């Protein structure tokens, strides 16, 4: 470092190195590093106050797990990819329905999870899929 009066300045070569390092760290924080996707949890996806009430594994790995969570009469369904399936392009889905016929789903080629799908009902049908492996609960209450 070169001192000029009470200020200190950094040579341009060090400024460039610091700038590149800072940009790399910021980019990593923005898009995430490999492996951070596995940190997704059912409660993290559905929100605070929800607790897991049921789950079912999907695929041969298993490749994903579909979860039913509750917060009072509010139900939430999410399907999370697991292990080496995280980040792949296999289609996954989450589904929820009520006895009155209302239903909703989230399906896509997501890297980490499908959902959350929420419904305010004390009785729900729910399920999910990973590729051709699917499961749903046929008895809502």
The per-residue pLDDT string of the chain (141 residues; one tens digit each, 9 = 90 and over) reads 444 444 344 444 444 443 433 433 333 333 333 334 456 899 999 999 999 999 999 998 899 999 999 999 999 999 999 999 999 999 999 999 998 888 999 999 999 999 999 999 988 999 999 999 999 997 766
How many Å apart are CA 113 and CA 102, to the nearest integer?
Answer: 22
**How many residues belong to the chain?**
141
Tell me how far apart the alpha carbons of residues 64 and 45 are, in angstroms, rounded to a whole number.
Answer: 15
Q: What is the per-residue pLDDT across 14-50, written as a single tens digit (0 to 9) for each? A: 444 434 334 333 333 333 333 344 568 999 999 999 9
The model's pTM: 0.72
Q: Three-state DSSP class for 60? A: coil
- Cα separation, 78 vs 34, whole angstroms: 21
Give me the phi and psi of 11, to 5 degrees please: -60, 150
């Amino acid at each position: 470092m070169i001192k000029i009066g009470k200020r200190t300045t950094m040579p341009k070569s060090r400024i460039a190195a610091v700038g590149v390092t800072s940009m790399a760290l910021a980019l990593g924080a923005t898009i995430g590093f490999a492996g951070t996707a596995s940190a997704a949890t059912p409660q993290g996806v559905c929100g605070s106050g929800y607790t897991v009430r049921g789950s079912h594994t999907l695929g041969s790995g298993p490749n994903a797990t579909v979860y039913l969570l509750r917060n009072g009469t509010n139900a939430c369904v999410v399907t999370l990819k697991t292990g080496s399936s995280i980040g792949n392009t296999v289609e996954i889905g989450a589904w929820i329905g009520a006895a009155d016929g209302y239903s909703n789903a989230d399906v896509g080629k997501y890297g980490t999870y499908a959902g959350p799908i929420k419904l305010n009902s004390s009785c729900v049908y729910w399920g999910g899929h990973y590729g051709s492996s699917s499961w749903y609960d046929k008895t809502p209450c």
